[in-house]
Amino acid sequence: MMKKAAFTAMSVVLAAGLTACGGGSDNGSGSTGASAAPSAGAGATKAPSGEKVKLTYWTGDRHDTDYIKEVIQKFNTTNKDNIEVEMVVRSEDFDQALDLAFTSAQAPDIFRTKENTIQMHYKKGYMAPLDGYLTPELKSKFPAMDELNSFDGKMYSLPNYGTTMRLVYNVDLFEKAGIKNPPTTLKEMVEDAKKITAVGKASGAYGIAFNLKSPNSALGRSARLIAELSGYGGFGYDFKTGRFDFNGWKDIINSFKQMKDDGSMLPGVESLDIDPLRAQFAEGKIGMYMSFSSEPGVYKNQFPAKIRWAAAPAPTVTGEVKGASGFLGGQWLAISKDSKHKDEAWKFLSYMYQNEVLQTYHEKGFGISMVPEVAAKAKAPDIGGIEGFLPNKSDGVWPISPTVNVQGIKYYDAFFKYMLEGGDLNKMVDDLNKRYNDALDKAVAAGEVKAKAIPDFDPAKLGGKYAK
């Protein structure tokens, strides 16, 4: 069911963020409102006197790596509690590595959780609740969304920033190919990719790319975006009927396959990770791809762009916007349930959630702040390309899709296989619908998820709530 509380919280946050006036930091204090941590929780252990308490922090984010390293280094050298944090950056294998770490009793003390993983992390029992550390001031400062920050009445991760998704394109290659505007339909996208490849192939440039080393990540930043804008659930779930239905993805996946068949995709996309893709784009070898609002920070800090680039709304199936591009976010850091140093981990979280840290995060363009108190003070991000990612009339918050434990091949792997090998897409979709709905029925019967049809659900009404 649609969560009204989530919409209310997001409205407040985005309104604050988009009307932000200039302001400074908190002169180094930037308190989250947290005082000394409460007494040690269950299972906590204390390091012998004089020894450092060493914590590990895992993240899959790379766009903000340099900044977060600086923040952690400052924490390590200034905290009075003899705590030292080691940061471990994983990329596309983050979820698998985290699963392995928990099953082998080597889980990190703190880890990054996201909108598309926090439900899974909750169900697997990876996160420790934060309620024992939260003061009334903190609860007021960080608007929580049910099933995104809290589950069954307990809080597991405070928000930091949100992200939008866009089509990112090489202005130089578009001009070279005689393309005046970014594509607004799937047909235009296929045609534009072919035109760019025709003029760029001799120099190693191709029309489009996807980070298909991880089909879930690749389709999650592209097919999902197009589906949501076209009025279809971004994870194949139809809120109107309360059932899974991947039929709306057929045109999208067929278009992706057509670009692969045309030779319009960068060679080797099957094993392409997101950072190598970004590096190739920065060098001028890719005409367009789809991704998140973290990209401006990437092309300023991680892979300085050697080209002119911009961001625009992604195309839809027909050119008509019938839904909304999901405004993502609402989570950031979580404490592992297996950590033996939860109190120290909370002290690290308190440091990371300081106004000064969060405000700088926003102003550097790593993400659009979702914390009203921070957004109200923060200056607009001074970074090239961010203007194309600011929330517009087509951005909105979708309800939460149920997460099910489906048997057999997942939808993103099935579509990836079809893009490479072909086959009968109709039969594939029928099979996906059956297996996903069987898993849904089983999960509902077991009380693991809630799935109820919303007959009057209209995805077109989701957009525009957060535009200026």
Nearest Cα neighbor of 6 from 157, 196, 144 is 144
Q: How does the average pLDDT of the chain come out, rounded? A: 88
Residues 399 and 234: beta-carbon distance below 8 Å:
no
Q: Does residue 120 come out as left (phi exceeding 0), alpha (psi in the -120 to 50 range) or beta?
A: alpha
User: Residue 143 — pLDDT band, cuts 50, 70, 90?
Assistant: confident
Region 281-302: mean pLDDT is 93
- Residue 21's pLDDT band (cuts 50, 70, 90): very low
Confidence of residue 367 (pLDDT cuts 50, 70, 90): confident
The predicted pLDDT at position 14 comes to 37
In this structure, whether the domain defined by 4-163+328-391 belongs to CATH 3.40.50.300 is answered with no
Cα–Cα distance for residue pair 316/228, rounded to 1 Å: 9
pLDDT of 383 strictly over 90 = no
Q: How far apart are CA 378 and CA 359, in angstroms?
A: 6
* Each residue's pLDDT tens digit, 92-140: 689 999 999 999 999 999 999 987 788 889 989 999 999 999 999 999 9
CATH number of 165-326+400-461: 3.40.190.10
- Mind listing the pLDDT tens digit for each residue in 28-77? 333 333 333 333 333 345 566 678 999 999 999 888 899 999 999 999 99
Domain residue spans in the chain? 4-163+328-391, 165-326+400-461
Q: Helix 425-445 vs helix 250-262: angle between axes, to the nearest 10 degrees? A: 140
Per-residue pLDDT reduced to its tens digit, 195-234: 999 999 999 999 999 999 999 999 999 999 999 999 999 9
- E strand segments, 172-220: 206-208
Query: In this predicted structure, which of 266-270, 347-351, 394-398, 403-407 has the lowest mean pLDDT?
Result: 394-398
Burial 25-59 (b: 16+ CB within 10 A, else e): beeeebebbbeebeeebeeeeeeeeeeebebbbbb
Say if 4-163+328-391 and 165-326+400-461 have the same CATH topology.
Answer: yes
Task: Categorize the per-residue pLDDT at 372 as very low, low, confident or very high, splitting at 50, 70 and 90.
Answer: confident
